[in-house]
Amino acid sequence: MTAQIIDGKAFAAGLRARVAALVPAFHAATGRTPGLAVVLVGEDPASTVYVRSKGKATREVGMESLEHRLPDTTTQGELIALVEQLNDDPTVDGILVQLPLPAHLDAQEVLLRIDPDKDVDGFHPINAGRLATGVSGFVPCTPWGCVMLLEDRLGDLSGLDAVVIGRSNIVGKPMAALLTARNATVTLCHSRTRNLPHYLRHADIVVAAIGRSRFVQGDWLKPGATVIDVGMNREDGRLTGDVDFDGAASVAGAITPVPGGVGPMTIACLLRNTLVAAHRREGVPLDERSI
């Protein structure tokens, strides 16, 4: 068996195109374009690249990119003041504070100050609570993208056995909640799980987000399983996932590559969330299922 490659790059391009197609109608209804504010503190190389990519993608779909670059000497008070200014700015629909922040800043306190209705990253506890209880809110972009890829590949997820490896607030926990909401039977595993292969051998869906290069082995998988690899690790100068791709591809039915799988979906879902936030804030109707 050779697994089908799940092309996240192509799917993300389609999602960005659907977002771009809806921006002109929003502009016609409101006289403005949706605005995404991104805050970068310091000059972390990876964060700088991410912010540049997000800005480029935002502009490409016709939305406004509002970048705020602050020195690494920025104080907690100064950063919170900027977030509150963006909360009050009617031209800003989404606020993203790029993580990680410099060590002297309290990221959790900063994220708590973001207006939950502008929290397009989906990290605010109010949005986490909305997800857990089935109330409409904003979902973290990476797990949301994973679900889109899974439903595109498998259709209805009801009754499927799913294993999520990793319990972070950014990926693992929201991923488990999203799969549960779609009636999958979900097991949430992590670094302390005993006999992890036992759980994977029964899983129709595996989402690996544990942050360990090529950790999940092919012979742990159920033949024909769909594998979503969220990992982004650097090994010998190249990107690797959390799954041993070659071994897994000989067993799985479908698998995301690294790079080119989940990564492109994250930015595409950020643009989607920003568009949705703009429509909700302005009271402009939008069929959110269409995107």
**Residue owning tokens 């209880």:** 133
Specify the pLDDT at position 290.
86
- Is residue 109 helix, strand or coil? helix
> In whole angstroms, what is the distance from residue 285 CA to residue 138 CA?
17
Catalytic residue among 54, 118, 173, 222: 54
pTM, 2 dp: 0.95
Q: Is 56 a catalytic residue?
A: no
> In whole angstroms, what is the distance from residue 33 CA to residue 63 CA?
6
Cβ pair 191, 167 in contact under 8 A: no
Q: Is 244 a catalytic residue?
A: no
Cβ pair 237, 211 in contact under 8 A: no
Specify the pLDDT at position 12.
98
> In whole angstroms, what is the distance from residue 181 CA to residue 157 CA?
10
* Furthest CA-CA distance within the chain: 57
Specify the pLDDT at position 1.
63
Catalytic residue among 93, 115, 119, 121: 121
Domain ranges of the chain: 27-120, 141-263
Could you give phi then psi for residue 185, rounded to 5 degrees? -95, 115
CATH 3.40.50.720 for the 141-263 domain, yes or no? yes
pLDDT tens digits, the chain, 291 residues: what are they?
689 999 999 999 999 999 999 999 999 999 999 999 999 999 888 899 889 999 999 999 999 999 999 999 999 999 999 999 999 999 999 999 999 999 999 999 999 999 999 999 999 999 999 999 999 999 999 999 999 999 999 999 999 999 999 999 999 999 999 999 999 999 999 989 999 999 999 999 999 999 999 999 999 999 999 999 999 998 888 999 999 999 999 999 999 999 999 999 999 999 999 999 999 999 999 999 888
Token pair for 100? 């990680």
Catalytic residue among 98, 118, 173, 244: 98
Specify the pLDDT at position 289.
87
Q: Is 54 a catalytic residue?
A: yes
Class of domain 27-120: alpha beta
